[in-house]
Structure 1
Amino acid sequence: MQNKNYVFIGDSLTFGYGVSKNKSWIEFYKEFCIEKGNNINIINKGINGNTTTDMLNRFTEDVTSLNPSTIFIMGGTNDLLSNRAIDSIIDNIDLMIQESLTCTDSIIIGIPPRIIKEDAYRLFMPSLTYDYCEKSLPKLREILIKLCNKYKLKYIDFYDLTSSINHNEYYIDGIHFNENGHKLLFNEFIKN
Structure 2
Amino acid sequence: MSKIFGFFKKIILYFLIIFSFTNIITAKEETLLILGDSISAGYGINQKDNWVSLLQEEFYKEETSLKLINSSVSGDTTSGGLERLKEDLKISNPDYVLIELGGNDALRGYPVKKIKDNLKQMISLVKANNSKPLLMQIRIPPNYGQKYTYAFEKIYVDLALAENINLLPFMLENIGVNSDLMQSDGIHPNKKAQEMIAKDVKKNLNKVLFFK
Length-normalised TM-score, structure 2:
0.74
Once the two structures are superposed, the pairs formed by residues 140-159 of structure 1 within 5 Å of their partners are: 140-158=152-170
Q: Alignment partner for residue 112 of structure 1, among 119, 122, 138?
A: 138
User: Does structure 1 retain, via aligned residues, the 8 Å contact 2:94–2:131?
Assistant: no
Aligned to 1:167: 178
Q: Distance in 2 between matches of 1:77 and 1:134?
A: 16
- Segments of structure 2 that go 5 or more residues without pairing to the other structure are 1-26, 205-212
User: Does structure 1 retain, via aligned residues, the 8 Å contact 2:51–2:194?
Assistant: yes
Once the two structures are superposed, the pairs formed by residues 21-170 of structure 1 within 5 Å of their partners are: 21-104=47-130, 106-115=132-141, 131-132=143-144, 136-158=148-170, 161-162=173-174, 166-170=177-181
Alpha-carbon shift at residue 161 of structure 1 (Å): 1.9
**Which amino acid in 2 is paired with 1:72?**
L
Higher relative contact order (CA 8 A, sep 6+): 1
User: Does structure 2 retain, via aligned residues, the 8 Å contact 1:115–1:134?
Assistant: no
SS in structure 2 of the partner of residue 101 of structure 1 = helix
**Which amino acid in 1 is paired with 2:97?**
I
Q: Note the alpha carbon deviations across 1:59-100, whole angstroms, 9 max, x for none.
A: 100235411101100111111222211111111010000010
User: Does structure 2 retain, via aligned residues, the 8 Å contact 1:9–1:55?
Assistant: yes
Q: Distance in 2 between matches of 1:149 and 1:64?
A: 27
Q: Distance in 1 between matches of 2:96 and 2:60?
A: 17
User: Does structure 2 retain, via aligned residues, the 8 Å contact 1:86–1:140?
Assistant: yes
Structure 1's consecutive aligned runs of 4 or more residues displaced over 6 angstroms after TM superposition are none
Q: Distance in 2 between matches of 1:24 and 1:33?
A: 15
What's the C-alpha RMSD, in Å, of the aligned pairs?
Answer: 2.3
Length-normalised TM-score, structure 1:
0.82
Give the greater-gyration-radius structure (CA). Answer: 2
Change in Cα spacing, 1:134 to 1:6, as seen in structure 2 (3 Å) is farther
Percent identity reads 23
Q: Distance in 1 between matches of 2:53 and 2:148?
A: 29
Change in Cα spacing, 1:63 to 1:167, as seen in structure 2 (3 Å) is farther
Q: Alignment partner for residue 14 of structure 1, among 21, 40, 52?
A: 40
**Which amino acid in 2 is paired with 1:28?**
L
Count of matched residue positions in the alignment of Structure 1 and Structure 2:
177
User: Does structure 1 retain, via aligned residues, the 8 Å contact 2:171–2:197?
Assistant: no
Q: Distance in 2 between matches of 1:159 and 1:8?
A: 13
Aligned to 2:17: none
